[in-house]
Amino acid sequence: MKKILITGVAGMIGSKLAEYILQQYPSYEVVGIDNLSGGYTENVPPQVQFHSLDLTTAPLDAVFKSGEIEYVYHLAAYAAEGLSPFIRCFNYQNNLVATANVVNACIKYNVKRLVFTSSMAVYGIGTPPFDELHVPNPVDPYGVAKYACEMDIQIAGEQHGLDWCIVRPHNVYGEHQNIWDKYRNVLGIWMYQKLNDQAFTVIGKGQQKRAFTYLGDCLEPLAQAAFSEKASRQTINLGSSTETSILEAAHILKEIIGGADIEFLPERHEVVNAYSTHEKARSLLGYVDQTQLRDGLVMMWEWAQKQPKRIRKEWETYELDKGMYGFWKN
């Protein structure tokens, strides 16, 4: 039977994409890889042939050698953008070296197409909305790693004929998000804080603008990133076109969950306004921006309230303490 491999299958996007492909494209079996550093086995659909592997070190021959893997979605990463300057080596190892390992296997085993989830972090500082022709200028090691991965994949395309599609999603939220990681994904952080009787934390004045994107709207476009001829060797922004300030988003969520205090934290090194254009996603992947932030948050909050009380993910030591923000200091 034809197979699709999803790395990061225990994470938010990977697990929901696995579910979606199993339901909508039943001619494919799904094979999954994850080291469970940021995802949970409970997220992985039972039909997935699951390999608990770390992509930074594991040889992947055992997963690929049957030759049945047609498409690979490489989603595994540690996407804590703001933390990445303090875990630099880890960031490059986990995001860039791991990708090189996947690229090698895709070339060696003649995979039909590699779909890579890059990030809008590659754009860095500039004037949004960013279109795909905007020259990347990342401002942190996470963005640098994602951009380096993109370039490496394109080189594999030129030199070894690997077909690829690079998707740049942004601010994706929804069910299966890791709400226990204190370093990333503001909406999930707020839900954790509400569930633990804490105030919402907002960095700076909360005027930063982001285009929050409901995960459910991204699943068919991600499927098409592998299947559609039009997506071959294309780099495509993926996400909502409606930008919202962080403070506005906090107020929308406050209303849904029945109130919360807001604690303002000092500013940090980050891009103030980050949103992009989506014409390519619409025309090449059939993306439809259909779920309003309020509706998506209602669904995510319903899910979040049913989650077990997990221990919050915190780094015991950072590679660098110099310049570390007070709110993350150990």
Ligand X SMILES: NC(=O)c1ccc[n+]([C@@H]2O[C@H](COP(=O)([O-])OP(=O)(O)OC[C@H]3O[C@@H](n4cnc5c(N)ncnc54)[C@H](O)[C@@H]3O)[C@@H](O)[C@H]2O)c1
> Quick one: which of 4, 14, 188, 281 contacts ligand X (CB under 6 A)?
14
Contact track, ligand X, 75-104, x by CB under 6 A: xxxxx--------------x---x------
> Is 32 an interacting residue with respect to ligand X (CB under 6 A)?
no
Separation between Cα atoms, residue 178 and residue 77, nearest integer Å: 13
The residue (of 100 and 322) whose beta carbon lies closer to ligand X is 100
| Near ligand X by CB under 6 A: residue from 4, 5, 6, 13 | 13
Name the residue nearer to ligand X (CB basis): 197 or 316.
316
Residue 139 or residue 264: which is nearer to ligand X going by CB? 139
Contacts of ligand X in 177-216 (CB under 6 A): 178
Which of 4, 6, 10, 63 lies at the binding interface for ligand X (CB under 6 A)?
10
In whole angstroms, what is the distance from residue 84 CA to residue 246 CA? 21
Per the rule left: phi > 0, alpha: psi between -120 and 50, beta: everything else, 233 is left
Which listed residue (36, 107, 139, 265) binds ligand X by CB under 6 A? Answer: 36
Stretch that binds ligand X, among 6-14, 65-73, 268-276, 307-315 (CB under 6 A): 6-14
One-letter identity of residue 124: G
| Beta bridge partners of residue 28, listed in sequence order | 2
Q: From CA 75, how far away is CA 38, in angstroms rounded?
A: 12
Tokens of 27: 């001619």
Q: Which residues have a Cβ under 8 Å from the Cβ of 50 and sit 6 or more positions away? A: 9, 10, 32, 33, 34, 41, 44
Is 170 an interacting residue with respect to ligand X (CB under 6 A)? yes
Q: Which is nearer to ligand X, 97 or 264 (CB)?
A: 97
DSSP string over 28-70: EEEEEEE-SSS--GGGS-TTSEEEE--TTT---HHHHTTS-EE
The nearer residue to ligand X, 61 or 321, going by C-beta atoms, is 61
Separation of alpha carbons 193 and 118, rounded Å = 28
Percent of residues in the chain assigned helix, strand, coil, to nearest 5: 40, 20, 45
Binding to ligand X in span 237-276, by CB under 6 A: none
Q: Which residue is at the shortest CB distance from ligand X?
A: 11
Which residue in 3, 5, 11, 280 binds ligand X (CB under 6 A)?
A: 11
124 three-class SS: coil
By CB under 6 A, residue 105 contacts ligand X: no
Please say which residue, 54 or 68, places its beta carbon nearer to ligand X. Answer: 54
Task: Please enumerate in sequence order all residues whose Cβ is within 8 A of that of 174, keeping only pairs 6 or more positions apart, or say none.
Answer: 12, 16, 214, 215, 216, 296, 299, 300, 303
CB of 305 to ligand X, least distance (A): 19
* Interaction site with ligand X (CB under 6 A): 8, 10-14, 33-39, 54-56, 75-79, 94, 98, 117, 119, 169-172, 178
